[in-house]
A and B are shown apart, each in its own frame.
Chain A
């Protein structure tokens, strides 16, 4: 069966510091991969999605970037965090069959 790993679970970072969040999927190949952010009291905002290695689509222009160096690895990065980057970051995967996406446990990021 497929599993998704996302870490760390919580993170407190100062303003201006870099960020790297990693997500890996096991038990499947060539998944679609997604990064979402959920700010307090708000819905899930799609940040990036990827349909294959090196193929990244950006939904929202901001100081975040994403990379997919391997088929089942998705990384979210920032060079300098802003206070507004605080939120619940969720990685998700889906197959090409368009039958929904499945989420990791999420990383709760607080920028101070």
Chain B
């Protein structure tokens, strides 16, 4: 079982729609969860972090965490063409140390 799993996509949504990105993880001891955005040819950029069960909102982005289900999600409201990128879910290991492990990413395409 992979430590962090994401659907690779591509996920296509029209401009103005809600994009929903999902991620599951295997280490029950994990305490810190992150979403990164990566444009083609560029390095990843941290956009959201979440540490407690529930929702965390930041502008058009909402991160959701369910530790019982080992599930993290990212919602992007009012999607814009500029949101077209690969979104990477990252989980910081719990007991095993401080390593930050990434999923393979989901490619999002927002059409105008």
A residues with a Cβ closer than 8 A to B are 32, 34, 36, 42-44, 46, 49, 51, 57, 59, 90, 92, 94, 96, 98-106
B residues with a Cβ closer than 8 A to A are 31-32, 34, 42-46, 49, 88, 90, 92, 97-105
Q: Are B105 and A43 in contact (CB under 8 A)?
A: yes
Known A-B contacts A98-B32, A99-B49; the reply to A32 vs B102 at CB < 8 A is: no
Contacts of A102 in B (CB 8 A): 46
CB-CB nearest in chain A for B46:
A100
Q: Are A44 and B88 in contact (CB under 8 A)?
A: yes
Q: Are B102 and A103 in contact (CB under 8 A)?
A: no
Q: Are A104 and B32 in contact (CB under 8 A)?
A: no
Contacts of B98 in A (CB 8 A): 32, 49, 51, 94, 96, 98
Instruction: Give Cα A63 to B43, complex, Å.
Output: 24
Contacts of A100 in B (CB 8 A): 32, 34, 46, 49, 90, 100
CB-CB nearest in chain A for B92:
A98
Instruction: Give Cα A100 to B102, complex, Å.
Output: 12
CB-CB nearest in chain B for A50:
B98
Q: Are A90 and B43 in contact (CB under 8 A)?
A: yes
Instruction: Give Cα A92 to B88, complex, Å.
Output: 15
Contacts of B90 in A (CB 8 A): 100-101
Contacts of A96 in B (CB 8 A): 98
